[in-house]
Amino acid sequence: MKTQLTELFGIEHPIIQGGMHYVGFAELASAVSNAGGLGIVTALTQPTPEALAREIERCREMTDKPFGVNLTFLPARNPPDYAGYVRAIITGGVRVVETAGNNPQQWLPVLHDAGIKVIHKCTSVRHALKAQAIGCDAVSVDGFECGGHPGEDDVPNFILLPRAADELDIPFAASGGMADGRSLVAALAMGAAGINMGTRFVATREAPVHQKVKDAIVSASELDTRLVMRPLRNTERVLNNRGVERLLEKEERLGQQITFADIADEVGGVYPRVMKEGNLDAGAWSCGMVAGLIHDIPSVKELIDRIMLQARQIIGQRFHEVMVAER
């Protein structure tokens, strides 16, 4: 299945693994790439640029297929060493970077000079158009269903994706609610050139997270996520747990007076405790509504092969039905 994204990134299947904190390690990224998709190593999970360089090398030892690095630009008072992370990406020979968060414009020239393709995560058409205008090669369009940060517009993918197709000239991946062949065919029908999956890839055998995390996703329904940090306009979709309930109680009690410091215990330093130790109630951790469509923990290859088979079957069946109807 060739699309603009498979051609742009040199991959077999139009399936991208989103960059996820304390999930996007070499084990998962290489498994996705080996299965024909685009695996992504998460830069800021690594504590230093030197650690990222080692993780890139580790991934390269596990796959000879293309893989990328996610680099999220945070509005931090003391920002990470972004220049160092970019150097590690370039030196490591990475050919795809997924950017997220703040505008990546200042970093595009050096990335493009190194022959790197940039796909930027966007939660609205206006942000996607801005990414296109500054020179991004592609965008990931994230609907309101997505895990993590869905933006503040609350537009679901059945509206957002066709709107993006109407406005954009560069290719885009559909993100949020993507889980199977039905997702892929629907995304293609609405104008996307592929899909970006996060939560679905967490529930795979190669995902280097605690088994309790995987089991929690499989057990969850589409009704088990919550939106937190809305009063701070930093909305995040997370899986409900006791830590999230504590956070929401604080939001209700403090209202618009709430500050990040008030909820630091529920959002700061949570991911190592959840993903590595399996302390699911430590606080808020990202999970999409797509959990309601996740019922097993396959290998990455089994998952991608299944998605592609189902997508081809759907497309073939629809084509057959049209041919029969025209007769």
How much of the chain is in helix, strand and coil states, percent to nearest 5? 50, 15, 35
CATH of 4-208, one of 3.40.50.11610, 3.40.50.720, 3.20.20.70, 3.40.190.10: 3.20.20.70
Distances from the Cα of 278 to the Cα of 31, 148, 205, angstroms: 22, 19, 15
For the cut 90, the answer to whether the pLDDT of residue 96 exceeds it is yes
pLDDT by residue (tens digit) across 174-207? 999 999 999 999 999 999 999 999 999 999 999 9
pLDDT by residue (tens digit) across 108-126? 999 999 999 999 999 999 9
What is the maximum span of the chain, computed from C-alpha positions, in angstroms?
67
State the DSSP string of 5-33. HHHHHT-SSSEEEPP-TTT-SHHHHHHHH
Domain boundaries, the chain: 4-208
Q: What integer is the mean pLDDT of 201-222?
A: 98
pLDDT by residue (tens digit) across 262-272? 999 999 999 99
Beta bridge partners of 68: 40, 96
Select from 319, 304, 311, 286 the least CA-distant residue to 146. Answer: 286
Beta bridge partners of 73: 101
Select from 50, 58, 129, 135 the least CA-distant residue to 97. Answer: 135
- Quick one: pLDDT at residue 77? 76
For the cut 70, the answer to whether the pLDDT of residue 324 exceeds it is no
Beta bridge partners of 118: 97
* DSSP assigned state of 35: T
- Quick one: pLDDT at residue 78? 87
Alpha-carbon distance 215 to 242, whole Å?
A: 17
- Quick one: pLDDT at residue 176? 98
User: How is residue 21 written in tokens?
Assistant: 């904190």
Length of the chain, please? 327
